[in-house]
Amino acid sequence: MTYARSLLATTLALSLAACGQPQSSAPAPTPPASTAPAQGEDGEVIAGAYLVGFQQQDGLSAQAVEQQAALQAQAIEAAGGVLTSQWADISAAAVQLSPEALARLQASPLVEYIEPDLVRRALGGPAVGQAADGGVSAPAASTGLGSQALYTASGETTWGDAALDVPTLRSQGQTGQGVAVCIGDTGIDGNHPEFARRLKGFRNFVTTEPNRNDPYQLNDVGQHGTHVAGTVFAQYGAGTGAPGLLGGMVADGVGGVASGANLYMARVLGDSGSGSSSAIINGVNWCVSQLKSQGGTENKVVVNLSLGGGRKSLTEQRAYTSAFNKGVLTVAATGNESTAVSYPAAYDGVLAVAAVDSDLKKADFSNFGSSVDLAGPGVAVLSAVPLGSGSAASVVSGGTSYPDVTGADKSGRGTVTGTLAQAGGTNNEFCGAGTRNPALQGNIALIARGTCSFEEKVANAAGSGATAVIITNNVEGALGLSLTNSYSIPVVGVTQAAGQSLSGQSSATVSVGSADYDSWNGTSMATPHVAAAAAVVWAAKPSLTNAQLETLLKNTARDIDATGKDNNTGYGLVQPLRAIQN
């Protein structure tokens, strides 16, 4: 102990000398001009914010680790930096540094590296997409189903639940009871009936705005965290009922994969769905602290991270290795850019999850590579969102209420009844920026999908005075609509068959209202399926270590692409029932 103390003290003295000033005369730190993201060489970074990795020494006692952390903090102060977070167990810290302070700290012999504090983002959103004409057909209706889908929904059972044998698991009492699932995300609407006010823990690591520290106040502006949490934990028989439901839903809403687990939420992403590496590390450490071995109350903890970014961080790798070594299983989304697996999913010690649709086909957006471990349902996934933030749409004409109607993500809310009018243009596609048709004034514009973006079509219709817009698909299936700007008029998408029928009608009623559920796409949606499945299996097999659990999940997955492990879906679709029976 004496040797370790003297060694650390000697190193600090050298560090202060390298900084070119005594500790007591450190200049006032210069905070960064902005904490907004800036573009780095290969990804966004937080301006003026850095992660510092100090030289690590193995075999130190708890007291020596504490002393080492104190010396590291002194070195940061001596360089003129501001310490914002410190992680003694991995010998690292988050700091704010001016260019001058950065140069001084880099000269310290205590420091192994200094890297930017990176931006990480949520990896999922409403079930709409981008294509040449601004969108793609959703592969399913609001309930997450396609007419030919391999897996379909029934009652509260979503297609994702069906794919993971959740009804059978529930009938056997396998709901994840006694295992904690800790989600790092945008927050949660704790008032949503699907959570039955049973959230066991909540902590905000992002901002200081009013209510962000209270899970029962508005903290999940981005909706993402609530949707992820619903996939894990939504309670059976606890739906919001009409009018908060989407078409085809039952009054009881949806059911989660691990409805008996202990649910925790770490708010590590802000209202826009983005956050920093440092905030996420703080959230993960809080999740780890729930373990009994770390002073908490939980025997087992699964961490869900439906977030990521394209740039590697040495500090993040240290943090996730530490979490794994302490017994936590971390599950993360691979990303939605159809490119290399994002971080943290690509790190050692993290289970990387790809997305598949209800036919068990890899989602076209799902990232790929040798780091992919497992796949989960990630296309048209129905789950809870903050109360009233979802979008419920309908079209009624000639006594027919059309199925599979989807509201645009930035549609106006309200109900409009009026005359249907063909928008015009080639194939009724109404393309050409600034195109106007006086016949649409005061009427509902009926427009065909194709050639130009949805945004261009809607802007042209709104500019022509249309009171609502119906865009019809040009292939089978529901049509998801993504817009650039917000509109005051209702904007909906309908199936090809509905469009053909509406072409023969003279009038219609179009409605877009609020809902308490929504259908989303993304590896963000696949990840909680796998995290919840892991919790269910761990509850059934509590003697397993996190490493053994990971191996079991891989060995019992349903093969999807090439035989064995592949770069698209890893070992395949997670199968918790098969894992329990193994």
Mean pLDDT of 419-442: 97
Over residues 360-369, the pLDDT tens digits come to 999 999 999 9
Q: What is the mean pLDDT of the chain?
A: 90
Q: With a cut of 90, say whether residue 76 has pLDDT above it.
A: yes
Q: 305 Cβ partners below 8 Å, 6+ apart?
A: 184, 280, 284, 330, 331, 332, 333, 344, 345, 350, 527
Q: Which residues are marked as active site?
A: 185, 224, 524
Residue matched to tokens 């990630």? 378
Q: Which single residue is written with the structure tokens 């962000």?
A: 212
Inform me whether the pLDDT recorded for 389 exceeds 60.
yes
What's the average model confidence in pLDDT over 96-104? 98
**At residue 124, does pLDDT exceed 50?**
yes
Q: Which CATH class is domain 148-385+520-581?
A: alpha beta
* Alpha carbon 261 to chain centroid, angstroms: 19
390-515: CATH number: 3.50.30.30
Which tens digit of pLDDT belongs to each residue from 268-299?
999 999 999 999 999 999 999 999 999 999 99
Split at pLDDT 50, 70, 90, the class of 513 is: very high
Q: Per residue in 310-361, pLDDT tens? A: 999 999 999 999 999 999 999 999 999 999 999 999 999 999 999 999 999 9
The confidence score (pLDDT) of residue 511 equals 96
Mean pLDDT, residues 434-443: 98
128 — pLDDT class (breaks 50, 70, 90):
low
Across the range 464-478, mean pLDDT stands at: 94
Q: Is the pLDDT of residue 146 over 50?
A: no
Provide the CB-side half-sphere exposure for 237 (13 A, CA): 0
Write out pLDDT tens, residues 517-575. Answer: 999 999 999 999 999 999 999 999 999 999 999 999 999 999 998 899 999 999 999 99
- What number is the average pLDDT over the span 76-81? 98
Place of tokens 């509406």: 502
Regarding predicted confidence, which is higher, 555 or 403?
555
- How far, in Å, CA of 153 to CA of 577, rounded? 18
Q: Concatenate the DSSP letters of all residues of 99-151 into one string.
A: HHHHHHHHT-TTEEEEEEEEEEEE--EES----TTS--B-SS-TTS--TT-SS
Given this model, what pLDDT does residue 300 score? 99
How do the residues of the chain divide into helix, strand and coil, expressed in percent and rounded to 5?
25, 25, 45
- Do residues 150 and 359 lie in contact, with contact meaning Cβ atoms separated by under 8 Å? yes
Q: What is the pLDDT of residues 177-233, one digit of tens each?
A: 999 999 999 999 999 999 999 999 999 999 777 778 899 988 899 999 999 999 999
pLDDT in tens, 230-266: 999 999 999 999 889 988 899 999 999 999 999 999 9
Q: What is the tens place of the pLDDT at every residue in 41-72?
A: 456 999 999 999 999 988 899 999 999 999 99
Residue-level pLDDT at 4: 39
**pLDDT-above-70 percentage for the chain:** 89
Give CATH superfamily name and number for 41-119.
Answer: Peptidase S8 propeptide/proteinase inhibitor I9 (3.30.70.80)
Q: Sketch the domain layout of the chain as residue ranges.
A: 41-119, 148-385+520-581, 390-515
d(CA 357, CA 18): 56
**C-alpha closest to that of 406 among 468, 478, 499, 462:** 478
Mean of the pLDDT values across residues 495-516? 96
